[in-house]
């Protein structure tokens, strides 16, 4: 019985860490709303050829990159992305795939399996490639959580 307060505090913190908030990316030029972990921070880097919006917190590091491609070529763009990923020497296999993207497994520098994804989104005249950060190794569950945020994102009219 004396451990009950500790257990309750643990589960309260666990539940709080799992909560999500809905964010708008309108101020970053993307007409999107998406659910992300409640303590996620948003950063924007305006690169010369693309805009990079990063949404990150512990175990969650989602990148949204705007692509400068005509909308009618996005199928071939996805094929090129898939080819680039599968050509990497550390690539192991595709885990899931659909018409807009895929989840894949690869080896990190220690030989451990890590996961990532690529997903293309079409918003008006903008094409966005969503992915987990390539600089970190993620579990399959973490990648699925990030991809779920992208799949459930809602387009908001301007």
What CATH number is given to the structural domain containing 24? 3.40.1000
Alpha helix stretches (DSSP H) within the chain: 4-18, 74-87, 140-151
Average pLDDT over residues 138-158: 92
HSE at residue 121, side-chain half, CA atoms within 13 A, is: 21
- Tens-place pLDDT, residues 55-97: 999 999 999 998 877 666 667 889 999 999 999 999 999 999 9
Q: Assign residue 77 a region: left if phi > 0, alpha if psi is -120 to 50, beta otherwise?
A: alpha
Q: How many domains does the chain have?
A: 1
CA distance 147 to 131: 8
In the chain, the N- to C-terminal Cα span, in Å, equals 55
Domain that holds residue 91: 4-155
pTM across the whole model: 0.82
Strand bridging mode 32-37 / 154-155: antiparallel
- Tens-place pLDDT, residues 98-126: 999 999 999 999 999 999 999 999 877 78
- Find the radius of gyration of the CA atoms of the chain: 17
**Long-range own/partner contacts, residues 39-46 (CB < 8 A, 24 or more apart):** none
Confidence of residue 153 (pLDDT cuts 50, 70, 90): very high
Q: Find out whether 103 and 116 touch, Cβ atoms under 8 Å.
A: yes
């Amino acid at each position: 019985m004396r451990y009950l307060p500790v257990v309750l505090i643990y589960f309260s913190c666990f539940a709080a860490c799992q909560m999500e908030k809905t964010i708008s990316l309108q101020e970053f030029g993307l007409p999107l709303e998406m659910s992300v972990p409640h303590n996620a921070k948003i950063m924007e880097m305006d690169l010369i050829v693309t805009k990079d919006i990063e949404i990150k917190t512990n175990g969650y590091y989602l990148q949204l990159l705007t692509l400068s491609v005509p909308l009618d070529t996005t199928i071939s763009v996805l094929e090129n992305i898939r080819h680039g990923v599968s050509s990497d020497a550390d690539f192991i296999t595709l885990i899931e795939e659909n018409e807009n993207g895929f989840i894949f497994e690869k080896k990190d520098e220690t030989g451990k399996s890590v996961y990532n994804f690529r997903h293309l989104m079409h918003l008006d005249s903008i094409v966005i490639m969503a992915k987990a950060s390539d600089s970190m190794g993620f579990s399959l569950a973490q990648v699925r959580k990030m991809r779920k945020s992208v799949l459930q994102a809602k387009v908001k009219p301007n």
